[in-house]
Structure 1
Amino acid sequence: MARQLALPPTLAPRLICREAAAAYVSVAPNTFDTMVREGRMPKPRVLTAGRKAWDVRLLDQAVDGLPLEGEDVGTANDGWDN
């Protein structure tokens, strides 16, 4: 996250690394990877060959689509494959 130090403190980054994306949605990086594979979290943007980052706006949308406790999973957003 050293690249983000150049931003003014009031400007949050739009794209974040895997570890930050996992922390942003309150899960471990390996759990986040599983959620991405399952379509419950968005795929990353490709910045350069071998460098990926997650869009915070898409992460927000994915979190909004997660089921609430006690809610039938079928009534929540069906994921990113739609």
Structure 2
Amino acid sequence: MANPGNIAGGHKANINNPNTSEEAKDRSRQVLEEMEDSGEVGQGGKQDKNTGNVIGGHKANLKNPNTSKDAKEHSKQVLDEMDA
């Protein structure tokens, strides 16, 4: 059986993909909502992840020369919100 976390991750990536149609994004939002309602994945997904890995990933993102300015700003915001 497929891993619900991987399925949710794929739908989250689809929602954030600028090349995806709004119809496809709406379908991904619907699937994620159904998965959250059924308890297959946590709401927002962040509580299901290892906090240390999340912090480490965002810190690495800030130091990556290939990361966009917008992505670095997002990582800084997440780290600030996490007090990390």
Which structure has greater helix proportion?
A: 2
Where is the strand percentage greater, Structure 1 or Structure 2? 1
TM tier, smaller: under 0.3
Give TM-score scaled by structure 1 length: 0.25
